[in-house]
Chain A
Amino acid sequence: MSGRPSLCPTDPGEVLARHQTLLQRSPLQRASSLAIPVALALLTAFAIWWLEIPFSQILTGLSSLAKFVALMFPPSTGGHLALLVKAMEETLAIAFLGTLIATVMAFPISFFAASNTTPHPLVRFLVRRALDTIRSVDALIWALVFVGVVGLGPFAGILAIAVSDTGALGKLFSEAIESTDARGRESVLASGGTQLLAVRFGLLPQVLPIIAGQILYYFESNVRSATIIGIVGAGGIGLQLSEQIRTYDFDQVAFAVIMILVTVAVIDVISGKLRFAIIGRRAVG
């Protein structure tokens, strides 16, 4: 007992005094922990002033939103069920083929963008910047461009998703390749294998499960993006959805939204099952 402070001190003040250095923070620490909220608040005030947000419109807006929501019930197909189902099929096709093409394009590119497989650091730098550039243009803008190239229709949407996801998947794949253990490749090289064999037997087994998980994740997210790409005429349910909102047919909007929700939920369950089958429950991130 002697020499050790008791766990239940009779005097709480004594405990406070003993750990003063831990409990009290310097004025500088206090100021710095205040600085972030103050900076955020100032930026918020500036943003509200700069964007001239009309607070008077919020109430009227909310009341018209309430009207829209009231109009949504009961949801109705408006007699276009076949059209909506076809549009939803198109949406799924766009997401599936878009992801597939993006994968096929991004996979070889990613080896040039990964530091441990690139032929030259300069190549890596250029490929990375190219991928970043593709990525910073939204899929919808790519869709507008491709509508100009191949005309209206789902094919333009497929190409748009394929191109914009090549940027994102290329980056993710290259990061997966960089995080691999070099020993697998080294042992293949040591036993007389070529670089190609080293990649095939030393590197691919390490990255394939990660890549498969990422592809499935992107497929899910592309089903969501493909629902909107139709707004610019690139196929899918977005065209119907935007027309219905513009013509205030909110019961049909509600039906289309429910269709999207159900489809996305089903896709999520299926791809979740596939992902568990491929990489196991533990590694889902």
Chain B
Amino acid sequence: MTQPEVRGFNLATMTDAMLVRRVLEGDTAAFTTLVDRHAAACTRFAMRMLGNREDAEDATQETFLRAYRSLARYEERHTFRTWLFQILINRCRTAAVRRQRRHRMFLVDANALAEASVRPAAEASDIRAELQRAIDALDPEQREAFLLKHVEQLSYDEMAAATGIGVSALKMRVKRACDRMQWMLREGEASDVGT
């Protein structure tokens, strides 16, 4: 029996898994749909992790290109989003390490740089700037766990798959990140009152 040709497929209604299959069958337009679905969330996560748009866009671009090249290895055990975040997390970790080395190499005043990287853009609100400052002050591991859980809203199982870290350790990191954030925001308010 010959299989019917499927014409006029509505890419917008296709699940990620179907789009992956379409790409692997040669329909590269399906990958554009995947990019449009996930680029904003990936850029947001990378920006919150790395603190600036330039590094975030580089990490996100590299993530999509790596995902594209390795698409045949995607397995449906996890959602495409989880798989994509697995790559993105690694790109962000690498970018952070690379940036640390770069800073050391040029003997830049770390404190001044940290100030500059969190300084709010002119249009950003004070609240957003304060939040970004608090996020930046977290340990990278805690920041990663906090963002995945509370901002990207991944389940702990998805987080474990994406990070390669056990669920209990992730819960602990999220808890510590929350405590630290709460403390920092409270301190920030106290210092605002004092000024």
The answer to whether A and B interact is: no
Q: Measuring CB to CB, which residues of chain A are less than 8 angstroms from any residue of chain B? A: none
**B interface list, Cβ under 8 A from A:** none
